[in-house]
Every structure is written in structure tokens, then in C-alpha cells.
């Protein structure tokens, strides 16, 4: 049942998958040379480590190294048996990797052994001691620790510690060491120490950050929440910059990439209030840059939860990484509709793109986002004689877009008379209602087969014939028997160098984008990368004929 649901989800770029996932997924994609459209099973070693850390923590159980231990210190003096609560001051002081437990620091030499530095002037071991506590290695963002009480009980120093532990569904991160250090008055006669430890559950750490200041409204349920998750970047700032290149809200992307980003398309520019753009403030290097490793380490769905738990509807994840190789190895790159999309950035530190790839990847990223948000189909054919009757499965879950974006029929005349865009034919260039921007030798029907899709020589001088609405044969994986509205757009091919804001997506397809955005996002928060989501209506959320995007 699951295989059938996924196979009907989309019709773009079937690729066999390794092992037990073979043939389970059919993925939207961009035409060759980005012929990298598989999905690999996802494993997260960090998740396992996070679980181990939680098991070690327990709840309200004192750790073994909180038992009685003799203190060795240069300045320990004679006994003082008085019982008292000791005043303390929180100070800076942390060890790069500190095992769980209580350390009493009584001298400069002990300070240096613990922290690897000399103590600041505010700590005078003739007057002061330090109490240090570490929660040990943790893997869940937001885990924190504080010392709440220090008491003297005869020869014993007793500390009370509060650990704030995020819930199990919060993001895992690279190991870090929550710890606290406080300064107390120097004590005399201390030979024992003891820890009382309390654990409290807290909400996930707030690491769901806006790509642009003042663009997002995280409480508006009518907005689409697009969340970028980046792996392989040198910093989280680079993740944000990569997301901003794809989004291009301010129109700055073309200066560096040579191509406009998504929000420069007019239908998106006029719908800013329908879109939120977030990124998760984590990244991690790939253990190596082989294709298999990138497949295995990119899909950090645990990080995604940091945004999902805070937002009112199901997020659309964008997994993105620096383009790391061009060696013929298969790397992830494709859209799975609103379930997720995988993109590559040619401008992030560490990317290895040629000059040609830099602008084509930017345009390819925008191409993939059109599969993801408005669920537009590819407008290219099979570069052969494939016919729509066999190349297109009209019973798929995206039939709402298919019957709007394409016209299936045997003749140009039937398209002109019956296509969904028939009332717009001739618009977009020159006089509305009249096809008047092509040279006579480039008359209709213009198709992939006769090879003039992006031929600017077909345009009359001063005319943008690529923007003119007509009937053009080929699309959705077929070359014959199917018709589209314009000669060429990003959905036809991202490898055309001279797209403008207005013609990169034709005006008719832009009306489909506006329609999809006006309907709003999928309701609910249930999200999974594992394929079972097809049974929950996630594929159906791309059908623009629906009143809502989920059943």
C-alpha cells in the first residue's frame, strides 16, 4: 500500500535506491546533468548518543561521582564543625570537556589543571574556593545546569544542582558540556563533598531562527513555514546565507550567483505575507564528502523538530548542503513535493562548483522549489518521441496541477481552443490576444523536437517571445500529445542563462502559484521523512483543486 502511494506521488526522475529502499520512491527532479535523485535510508548516530545521554541522566538520581570523595588541595586547613549555608557568587569558568561531577578547586594549580588557564584577579585562593559542577557530555540542545545551594556540614561541602533537560523530541547536536562554577569563601577542614541533583524537564531550545528579520510571523497559521536545515557548512551564519540566496527576498542574489532567487518571481514577491523562512541554528561537517556519506548524514530530521514544535502547521523542510564534488558520484538533489526538498549551494565555503554550475544550481534550486511549494510539474519532455498517453500517469495525486498546467491532446488547434489558458493566448508580449512576438520561421507549434525552445533568434527584435502565452508541445516527461503555455521557463530547463524576473516562470504558471499560496499550508504538524506520510495525505496537499491541503 505504501509503495503504491509513493509511486503515485510524482512522476519525475525514477531512480533505483540501494538495498531495501529500492524502487520505493519516485522523486521530482531537474534534468541531467543533475542526475542525482535517489533517497537513502536515514540514520542518525547522534540520536543514539542523545538517548544514551538521557539514560545516563535519569531523573532525580545522584550520579556515582556525587559520592563522598576526599579533597586534595594546597590550602586545606584545620577543621571547622559549624553547619551553615554558604553564600556564593556565580563566576565564569568552564572546561572544554568535563566529566560529570562535583570538583572543589582550592588553589591556583588546581584551577589550572581544571580550566587550562590562570585564574582571573577576582579569584584569590587566600580568600576563595571554587565549586564546579559538570553535567558531562550532552547531545540535546538546551540542556543546562546551575548550582542552587552550597552548604557546609561538618567536614563536608554539600551542593544542590538543578539540571534543565529538554524533552526527548528536541534536536540533537554535537556533544557539549553544561557546567556551572561558583565562588565561595575559603573553608577550613573540609575532607568530603556531596551532590544533591534534581532534574527538570524544559521546552526545546529556541534555535529556530528567521532567515530575514521582520519577515516571519510564527503564530500565523495561514503562512507556509519553510525551514532550511544545513549540513556541511562552516558555520550557522553560512546556513542562513545559503538560505537567503535561494529565497532572495531582497533581490541581492543575482549579483553573486548570476541568477535571481525564488522571491524575485512576481507571484512570490506579491505574496510575502503567506511565507515564513526559517533556518535551524545548527550545522555539522560531513565525516567525508563521498556521495554515500552525504546521503546518510544530510537529513537531520531531529534538528527540524526545533522549528516544528514551535510553529502552528507542518513545516516544509529544505535540506541543503555545499556542493562538494562533481566526480560522477550520486549526490542527493530533488524535491519530494511538500514533504521535503534537497538543494545544493555553490557559494557556501567548501563548495566545488564551476562557473557554469554556479548560476545553473541557483536556477535549479528555484526550479526544485516550484515542485515543492505550488507543486508545478516539469515542463520538459523525454528528448525523444515519448507520447503523453504513456508517459504521464493522469491518475496520480497531482492531477489538480496536471490538468491546469498541461493540455493533453493530439493537435495544436485543440490546445488553442480548449486548453485551460486559452483565454490568455497571445498575452505576455506585444499585443494581448495576438501571438506576435515570434519570427515567421518560428511559427506554432513550437516543440522540443524542432529544437527552438530557448532560441532567442526566434524572437522579433525587442520582443520577449519566451514570455508569450501560446501552445507549445512537450512536457511532463512526454514530447508528443501534451502542451504547455510558453516556449520555455525554469520548469522547462534551468540551464538557460538569460531568464528575467518576469519570464523565468510564465505568467500562467504564476497564476497557479498564486492559487496554491492562497489556499494556505497543510494543517496539523505530523511530519516524517520515512514514506508513511503518503497515507496521511501529504502527497494530496499539492492538489490545487482541493479546498484544503489535507483530507
Q: How many CB atoms lie within 10 A of CB 77?
A: 11
Weakly modelled stretches of the chain, pLDDT under 70:
1-83, 168-171, 203-206, 326-328, 393-400, 443-454, 523, 526-551
CA separation, residue 291 to residues 326, 358, 446, 447 (Å): 10, 20, 39, 36
Domain spans of the chain? Answer: 47-202, 207-373+521-542, 388-510
Burial class (CB in 10 A: 0-12, 13-18, 19+), 81: exposed
Integer Cα distance of 177 and 95 in angstroms: 8
Which residue, 99, 109, 194, 121, is CA-closest to 155?
A: 194
Q: What single DSSP character describes residue 361?
A: H
Q: Would you state the pLDDT for residue 501?
A: 92
Integer Cα distance of 435 and 428 in angstroms: 9
Tell me: domain 207-373+521-542, CATH 1.10.287, correct?
A: no
Unique residue bearing C-alpha cell 505504501: 2
Q: Would you state the pLDDT for residue 393?
A: 65
Burial class (CB in 10 A: 0-12, 13-18, 19+), 258: middle
**For residue 173, which phi and psi values (nearest 5 degrees)?**
-135, 175
Residue 365 cell numbers, joined: 534550486
Unique residue bearing C-alpha cell 524533552: 167
Yes or no: say if 403 and 482 are a contact pair by the CB < 8 Å rule: no
Yes or no: say if 337 and 372 are a contact pair by the CB < 8 Å rule: yes
Residue 209 cell numbers, joined: 531562527
Q: What single DSSP character describes residue 442?
A: G
Q: What is the DSSP string of 197-214?
A: EEEEEEPPP--EEESSTT
pLDDT tens-place string over residues 26-35:
334 444 333 3
Q: Would you state the pLDDT for residue 308?
A: 84
Number of H helices, E strands in the chain: 13, 20
Burial class (CB in 10 A: 0-12, 13-18, 19+), 407: buried
Please name the helix (run of DSSP H) or strand (run of DSSP E) that holds residue 360, with its range, or none: helix 355-372
Rg (CA), the chain: 30
Which residue, 162, 181, 175, is CA-closest to 103?
A: 181
Global confidence as pTM: 0.67
Q: Give first-to-last CA distance, the chain, whole Å.
A: 18
Q: Would you state the pLDDT for residue 548?
A: 33
Integer Cα distance of 165 and 168 in angstroms: 9
Integer Cα distance of 504 and 369 in angstroms: 13
Integer Cα distance of 538 and 526 in angstroms: 10
Helices (H), 398-440: 399-405, 412-418
179: which strand partners? 134
CA 326 to chain centre: 22
Q: What is the DSSP string of 269-324?
A: HTTGGGEEEEEES-----SS--HHHHHHHH--HHHHHHHHTTSSS--EEEEEEE--
Yes or no: say if 182 and 161 are a contact pair by the CB < 8 Å rule: no
Integer Cα distance of 483 and 46 in angstroms: 48
Q: Would you state the pLDDT for residue 368?
A: 94
Yes or no: say if 302 and 204 are a contact pair by the CB < 8 Å rule: no
Assess whether the previous peptide bond of 172 is cis (omega < 30° from 0): no
**For residue 191, which phi and psi values (nearest 5 degrees)?**
-130, 0
Which residue, 379, 317, 450, 406, is CA-closest to 31?
A: 379
CA separation, residue 494 to residues 56, 58, 126, 197, 240 (Å): 51, 53, 71, 58, 24
- Which residues are within 8 A (CB) of 340 and not within 5 positions of it... i.e. 6 or more apart? 299, 316, 317, 318, 319, 529
Q: How many CB atoms lie within 10 A of CB 294?
A: 27
- Which residues are within 8 A (CB) of 247 and not within 5 positions of it... i.e. 6 or more apart? 211, 212, 226, 261, 262, 263, 277
Unique residue bearing C-alpha cell 490568455: 424
Integer Cα distance of 166 and 200 in angstroms: 8
Q: Would you state the pLDDT for residue 516?
A: 86
Amino acid at each position: 500500500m505504501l509503495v503504491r502511494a509513493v509511486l503515485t506521488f510524482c512522476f519525475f526522475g525514477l531512480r533505483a535506491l540501494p538495498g531495501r529502499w529500492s524502487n520505493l520512491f519516485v522523486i521530482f527532479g531537474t534534468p541531467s546533468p543533475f542526475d542525482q535523485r535517489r533517497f537513502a535510508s536515514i540514520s542518525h548516530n547522534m540520536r543514539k548518543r542523545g538517548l544514551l545521554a538521557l539514560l545516563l541522566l535519569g531523573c532525580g538520581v545522584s550520579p556515582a561521582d556525587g559520592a563522598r570523595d576526599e579533597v586534595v588541595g594546597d590550602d586545606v586547613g584545620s577543621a571547622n564543625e559549624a553547619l551553615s549555608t554558604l553564600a556564593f557568587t556565580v563566576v565564569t569558568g568552564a572546561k572544554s570537556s568535563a566529566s560529570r561531577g562535583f570538583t572543589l578547586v582550592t588553589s591556583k594549580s588546581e584551577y589550572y589543571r581544571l580550566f587550562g588557564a590562570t585564574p582571573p584577579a577576582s579569584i584569590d585562593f587566600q580568600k576563595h574556593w571554587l565549586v564546579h559542577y559538570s553535567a558531562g557530555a550532552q547531545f540535546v540542545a538546551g540542556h543546562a545546569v546551575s548550582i542552587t545551594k552550597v552548604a557546609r556540614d561538618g567536614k563536608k561541602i554539600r551542593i544542590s544542582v538543578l539540571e534543565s533537560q529538554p524533552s526527548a523530541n528536541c534536536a540533537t547536536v554535537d556533544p557539549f558540556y553544561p557546567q556551572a562554577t561558583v565562588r565561595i569563601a575559603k573553608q577550613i577542614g573540609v575532607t568530603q563533598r556531596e551532590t544533591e541533583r534534581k532534574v527538570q524537564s524544559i521546552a526545546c531550545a529556541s534555535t529556530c531562527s528567521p532567515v530575514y528579520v521582520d519577515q516571519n510571523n510564527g503564530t500565523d497559521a495561514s503562512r507556509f513555514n519553510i525551514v532550511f536545515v544545513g549540513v556541511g557548512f562552516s558555520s550557522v551564519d553560512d546556513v542562513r546565507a545559503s538560505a537567503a540566496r535561494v529565497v532572495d527576498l531582497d533581490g541581492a542574489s543575482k549579483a553573486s550567483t548570476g541568477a535571481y532567487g525564488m522571491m524575485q518571481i512576481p507571484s512570490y514577491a506579491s505574496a510575502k505575507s503567506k511565507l515564513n523562512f526559517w533556518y535551524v541554528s545548527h550545522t555539522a561537517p560531513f565525516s567525508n564528502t563521498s556521495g554515500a556519506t552525504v546521503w546518510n548524514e544530510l537529513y537531520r530530521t531531529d534538528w527540524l523538530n526545533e522549528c516544528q514544535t514551535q510553529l502552528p502547521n507542518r513545516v516544509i523542510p529544505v535540506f541543503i548542503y555545499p556542493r562538494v564534488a562533481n566526480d560522477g558520484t550520486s549526490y542527493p538533489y530533488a524535491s519530494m513535493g511538500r514533504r521535503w526538498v534537497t538543494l545544493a549551494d555553490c557559494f557556501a565555503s567548501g563548495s566545488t562548483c564551476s562557473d557554469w554550475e554556479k548560476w545553473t544550481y541557483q536556477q535549479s534550486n528555484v526550479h526544485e522549489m516550484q515542485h515543492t511549494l505550488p507543486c508545478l510539474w516539469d515542463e520538459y519532455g523525454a528528448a525523444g518521441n515519448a507520447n503523453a498517453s504513456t508517459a504521464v500517469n493522469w491518475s496520480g495525486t497531482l492531477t489538480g496541477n496536471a490538468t491546469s498546467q498541461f493540455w493533453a491532446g493530439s493537435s495544436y488547434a485543440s490546445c488553442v481552443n480548449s486548453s485551460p489558458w486559452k483565454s490568455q493566448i497571445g498575452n505576455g508580449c506585444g499585443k494581448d490576444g495576438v501571438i506576435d512576438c515570434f519570427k515567421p520561421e518560428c511559427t506554432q507549434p513550437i516543440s522540443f523536437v524542432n529544437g527552438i525552445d530557448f532560441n532567442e533568434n526566434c524572437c522579433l527584435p525587442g520582443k520577449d517571445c519566451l514570455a508569450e502565452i501560446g501552445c507549445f508541445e512537450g512536457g511532463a516527461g512526454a514530447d508528443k500529445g501534451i502542451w504547455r503555455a510558453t516556449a520555455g521557463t525554469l520548469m522547462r530547463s534551468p540551464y538557460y542563462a538569460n531568464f528575467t524576473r518576469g519570464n523565468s516562470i510564465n505568467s500562467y504558471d504564476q497564476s497557479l502559484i498564486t492559487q496554491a499560496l492562497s489556499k494556505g499550508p497543510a494543517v496539523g504538524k505530523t511530519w516524517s521523512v520515512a514514506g508513511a506520510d503518503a497515507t496521511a495525505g501529504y502527497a494530496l496537499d499539492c492538489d490545487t483543486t482541493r479546498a484544503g491541503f489535507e483530507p
